[in-house]
Every structure is written in structure tokens, then in C-alpha cells.
Structure 1
Amino acid sequence: MSTTDYSTALDAARQAASAAADILLHYWRKGVSVEWKSDATPVTVADREAELAIRDILRTALPQADIYGEEFGREGDTQEWLWLVDPLDGTKSFVRRTPFFSTQIALMHKGELVLGVSSAPVYGETMWASTGGGSWFEGERVQVAETAELAKASISFGNIKSLTADGRWNVLGSLVAEANRIRGYGDFCHYHLLARGGLDLVIESDVNILDVAALAVIVREAGGVFTDLEGQALNLDTRSVLAGTAAMHALSLQRLRHVTQGV
């Protein structure tokens, strides 16, 4: 596959997300029992079956790529192409009958995220993007908002509990006080809204790269900026997110850096 033509891989990722959606909706209607992993996070048969279905499709479409999934770990060691798969991001919501869950599939080439698909099956909502190809929502190309002033901005926070333990909490409080609207959509939802112009800034902690890799490509290709809270590009060890319009990302990052640099 050419490093600039991702159409085959993107088609496969969308097909895999659709297959996962069928499985997740089946168990969403039927109900599932819950098991607990060693890290005290829940897992269900829906997670595992969806990931197996995704792996089968991706492996066939791009056999030269490794696959790193939430439930079955890493397969392959080529170090060039790597699929990142979270078959059911939001299992805690899923088992409590809260519809804020999704399937996340991204492709990384030599450490750079190059495409992503985010599927929220209960909402019938899918977004996708690839490098240079734009960001798409159900066949319509989307863009982030042009918001450049904090007083006009809408901000959404995720995993606020862990953010309260961070030395930057007072800075986040100042952003809340000055912004136009504050929400806490969480999971896929606030990133979808950001890419479609419905939000201007997302601040989140305690994430895993599998949760946000696809969403990073979607926001970036919609004209947004997507880094961690330190302003660093995403990698396999990423644990936080600062994503927004260019202006809102720059403003918030400057304030956060003043704290971490002791200014």
C-alpha cells in the first residue's frame, strides 16, 4: 500500500467497524455478563467478539500490518504499519446501559497516525478520516469551528476526577470561568462534536492511545489540533488530550505550560 493512498485500508477499517457494530448492538439488546480484568476495568463477550471480527477483516485487507487491540494485545512485530483497535471503547457505559460507547480503529505508519474510523452504533453515527483526505461524517465533509475567543468557546472535559489531582487544576478552573459553555460529553462524543464544529476545546486525562487514536486523525483532518496536555504529538504511551480549534488549543496550551514550567 502506498503511504499516500489509504483508500484500501480505510475501506477495511469502515467495514470492520460496521461488523463490530452488528455484534455490539446484538449484545446491547440482549444484555451481557461482566468480567473484571486485572486493572479493575470491565470486559464482556461483546468486547472480545467485536475485536476478533475486526482483526479478521483488517488482517485480510492489510496483511503486512501489525494489530494492537484492547482485548488481545499485539500481533506482529514489523514496526512499520500498526492497526490500533478498541472494539468497545466505553465498556463501563455499555454494561450500565448508557449509550456512550463506540468502536475505534486507527492505522499508524512508522509512528504517525494516518487514518481513523470512529463508530457509535447506538447513535448510528460513524466518522472517518485519512491523512490529506479530510474528515467525514456520514458522507459529508466536516470542519472544526472558527472560534478564536475563549468567551465564545464551548469546552468539554473528560475524566475530571483525575484532572483534579493535577497541578494544572487552577488553570482549568480559569478556563471554565471564562468560557461561554462547559460540558462533559466524554468518550467519542465530544471529539465528534469538535470535528463537526459543535465544540471548540476538549480536555481529557486518564486515556489510552487506543481510545483516542482514530479521533485524533478525525479532528486533525477537520482542521483542529490534537495533542496531549503537554502539547506533544500522540504516541503509544499517550495518557491525556488537549484538542481544539487552532486558536483555543494554542491559548489553553500556553496557560497550561505556564504552570508546568513554573512561570
Structure 2
Amino acid sequence: MKKDELRSRLEAAIEISQIVGKFIMSGTIPSELISFKKDETDPVTWFDEEAQRRIIDYLKKRFPSDEFYAEESGVRTKEIDNVWVIDPIDGTVNYIAEIPFYCVSIAFMKEGRPVIGVVHHPPVNETFYACKGEGAFLNGRRIHVSRISNPRESVLTVSHESGETHKLMKVLESKIRRIRMYGTAALQGAYVAAGRTQAYLTFKANVWDVAAVQVLVEEAGGMSTDWEGNNLDWPEGRLLFSNGLLHETILNWIEEAGLKRR
């Protein structure tokens, strides 16, 4: 795919992420518009479904031959080339509770690897975006991962709280400044790309959670691997996104906590 074709897709993803961001902030969420996928810990709202429909409709009109792989629907295969990976509202629990940590996440993948990533944070109107080989940006300004190499100055984020999180926290508590959980995978990854935090660890990521994160972090000069240090061919599962300077150290901490990838 030519560079101008990728850039046109990047521009389209930025535009629709911002359009949909305004839409999801425009209304209230009565209880009748909330349903559940697996159980009551995994809600989905009418706004999730409508935002996803609007994103797909917009991109289909622009790029009719592309495929779609979205949280609420779409293809489920690694083999299809030219695939949009979409999470219309990453952080739905926060969104329902009116906690301003949620975002729109859109990625474009070729041969199983993300080449475009867009994360739009509507409450503060921040758009993080990257295209393979072109660098990473926030609202038009070039961004770079943090240059902090001292673990005691570092802030790490994790995907969710669980028994395994507590195991890791026991190892980390005396080694780093803080550990945080924001409840939105894509935004936590974008913060690594922007140098706000030094690393983000996922315990059970889906591809729509972190496809945009991978290209953002790598284009900002950081690293992304699984917990065994392998490069990501398909971003899913137990993953580590970091500024690179602390990557090997964090992998060692994961092993120290007895949490190597299963």
C-alpha cells in the first residue's frame, strides 16, 4: 500500500474519531440503554453500538474494500489484509459512571500488524495518532516516549485489578514511584507514547484494546512485546508497552512475580 493511501486512512480515522467523540459526549445514558455481554461486569451501551456503526459506515464509504474487526461485531480472523480494528468506546464502565477516562480507538492493520493508530480522548479533546514510519503525534505535535530510566521515578499502569495484579504490585511497590489503573487500555497506552507514563501492562488484552497502542508506542520510540519479550505479530493477551529504557527490567519483575505468559 502506498504512503498516500495510508495517509488518507489516517486522516479519515482522525476525523471520524473526533466526530464520534462529540457524539458520545452529547447525551445521557439511561439504564434502559445499557445491556451486558457476558455478565454485569461487562456492560455495553446504545452509544457503543451506535458509535461503532457510525465509524464503520464512514470508513466503508471511503474505503469500500477494507474489512472491519470491532469489539461489538465484525470479522474474527488474522488472515484478512487491510483490516480496521475498532473500539468505539474503550472504557465503557467509566463512560457510564461519567468518569472522564474513556476514548475512541481506531487502528488499521496490514498482514496482522497495526500500521495506523488513533486514540481520541473526548473529555479533554486530545487526539493521539501515528502512521508506520511517520512518527507519533498529539493534536499535531510530535510526541516521544519518556526518557526516564530510573525505576524509582517511573509510573506504570496496568489493565485491570485481579489476583495477578496484586502479585505484581507486591513486587513493584518498593521499586517504582506509582502504579495506576485508569480502566481504558488504549488511553493508558497512548500515555506511554506521550511520555506521561513509562509503561503499560495488559493481563488479557483483546486486539481492539491495543492495536492502536502498538503503533503509537513504537512510532513514539518505545517498545511493545509479550511478557516473554517476543515481538508482536498480533497484539493480544499479556503484553508490555514501554519507553524501552525500562522494558527488560519490567520483564524481569514480571518473572519475579511468577507471572510469565501462559
Match of 2:109 in 1: 108
CA-CA distance at 1:61 after TM superposition: 2.1
> Percentage identity across aligned positions?
28
1:196 aligned partner = 194
Which position in structure 1 is the counterpart of 2:130? 129
Stretches of structure 1 that go unaligned for 5 or more consecutive residues are: none
CA contact (8 A) 1:25 1:121 kept: yes
| 1:185 counterpart = 2:182 | yes
Amino acid across the alignment from 1:31: I
Contact 1:67–1:76, Cα closer than 8 Å, also in 2: no
Letter matched to residue 24 of structure 2: L
Which residue number corresponds to residue 247 of structure 1? 245
CA distance in 1, matches of 2:83, 2:204: 23
Query: How far apart in 1 are the matches of 2:189 and 2:71?
Result: 20
CA–CA separation in structure 2 for the residues paired with 1:65 and 1:34? 30
Runs of 4+ in 1 over 6 A off after TM superposition: 75-78
Q: Distance in 1 between matches of 2:74 and 2:170?
A: 37
SS in 1 for 2:174: helix
Alignment of 1:75-94 (within 5 A): 79-94=80-95
TM norm structure 1: 0.87
Q: Report the CA distance shift for 1:223/1:77 in structure 2 as closer, same or farther (over 3 A).
A: closer
Aligned length: 255
Query: 1:242: how far off?
Result: 1.0
Unmatched runs of 5 consecutive residues or more in structure 2: none
The code of the aligned residue for 1:24 comes to I
Deviations, residues 15-70 of structure 1 (Å, cap 9, x unaligned): 2212211221123xx22321112455211110111111100121122222110111
- Equivalent residue runs for 1:15-164 within 5 Å: 15-27=15-27, 30-32=28-30, 33-38=33-38, 40=40, 41-74=42-75, 79-161=80-162, 163-164=164-165
Where do 1:210-249 residues align within 5 Å? Answer: 210-234=208-232, 236=234, 238-249=236-247
Q: Using the alignment, how far apart are the partners of 2:19 and 2:77 within structure 1?
A: 23
Task: For residue 178 of structure 1, report the CA deviation from its aligned partner.
Answer: 1.1
Match of 1:250, as an amino acid?
A: E
Q: In 1, distance between residues paired with 2:199 and 2:234?
A: 22
**Which whole-Å CA distance do the structure 2 matches of 1:77 and 1:227 have between them?**
18
CA contact (8 A) 2:172 2:253 kept: no
* SS of structure 1 residue aligned to 2:98: coil
CA RMSD, 1 decimal: 2.4
Q: How far apart, CA to CA, are the structure 1 residues paired with 2:36 and 2:251? A: 36
Name the TM-score, length of structure 2 as normaliser: 0.87
Deviation at 1:74, TM superposition (A): 2.1
Change over 3 Å in CA distance of 1:222–1:11 after alignment to 2? same
1:7 & 1:211 partners in 2: Cα distance? 22
